[in-house]
Amino acid sequence: MANTLQSKKRARQNERRLAVNKARRSRIRTYIRKVEEAIASGDKDAAQTALRAAQPELMRGAGKGVFHKNTASRKISRLAARVKALG
């Protein structure tokens, strides 16, 4: 349990950041899922559109520290390769 005023404040801040990061991570996962669903259905146009929408969200998450920059780049790269491989 937090004892000092500073540690109590840090605990409050951490709770707020957790909520913001959780929402942001969920939003990013939704964008990724939309791309994967379009790939699964075989619709290249929809997959490209979904990927174009997902890319800035992924990089914004990396910029905000939700996950590492290389992780975001890797996810974008792999999704792009899968979209490109569609008929």
Q: At what angle do helices 69-85 and 5-41 cross, to 10 degrees?
A: 10
Res 85 pLDDT > 90: yes
Question: Is 82 within 8 Å of 39 (Cβ atoms)?
Answer: yes
Res 87 pLDDT > 90: no
What is the domain partition of the chain in residue ranges? 5-85
Lowest mean pLDDT among 2-11, 14-23, 54-63, 69-78: 2-11
Res 59 pLDDT > 90: yes
Res 14 pLDDT > 90: yes
Which residues lie closer than 8 Å to 25 by C-beta, 6 or more apart? 61, 66, 67
CATH code for the part of the protein at 5-85: 1.20.58.110
pTM for this prediction: 0.86
DSSP code for 4: S
